């Protein structure tokens, strides 16, 4: 075998190995961010055992024995599935998107701070019926 064909074969093998490693790395990176939906999790704030199962479409179904555990688990499951969306909405309402998107969203932040959504949200929470506030606190715990 000539030196040229050895170089070609070696280069092809190296490319195949590098490509395989890259595919494996990208697959692990993509699937690592999926929520943990199997097994048992222990949440110290739960008062009684709660069961969560997902149907064939990934929709969570929560079986809880009281409202506190239901709301706490609902908030947990929502955060598992939509944490990025929830954080984005929270920052938007507070006018703090520029902390993660730099100056691109500065006008948006100024508008939302001017509209005073954060103040309104605090005022609404403070004026809620105590039962509703308790449920909201359980959800956001």
pLDDT tens, position by position, 62-112: 999 999 999 999 999 999 888 999 999 999 999 999 999 989 999 999 999
Q: What is the CATH number of domain 37-140?
A: 1.10.439.10
CA quadruple 16, 17, 22, 23: dihedral, nearest 10 = 60
- The pTM (predicted TM-score) of the whole model is 0.70
Q: Confirm if 46 and 69 have CB atoms less than 8 A apart.
A: yes
The three-class DSSP label of residue 42 is: coil
């Amino acid at each position: 075998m000539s030196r040229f064909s050895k170089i070609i074969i070696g280069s092809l093998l190296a490319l195949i190995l590098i490509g395989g490693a890259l595919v494996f790395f990208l697959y692990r990176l993509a699937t690592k961010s999926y929520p943990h939906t199997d097994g048992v999790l222990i949440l110290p704030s739960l008062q009684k055992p709660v069961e969560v199962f997902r149907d064939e479409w990934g929709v969570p179904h929560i079986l809880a024995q009281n409202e506190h555990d239901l709301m706490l688990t609902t908030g947990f499951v929502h955060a598992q599935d939509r944490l990025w969306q929830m954080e984005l909405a929270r920052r938007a309402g507070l006018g703090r998107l520029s902390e993660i998107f730099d100056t691109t969203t500065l006008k948006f932040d100024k508008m939302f701070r001017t509209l005073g959504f954060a103040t309104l949200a605090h005022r609404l929470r403070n004026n809620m019926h105590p039962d509703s506030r308790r449920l909201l606190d359980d959800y956001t715990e």
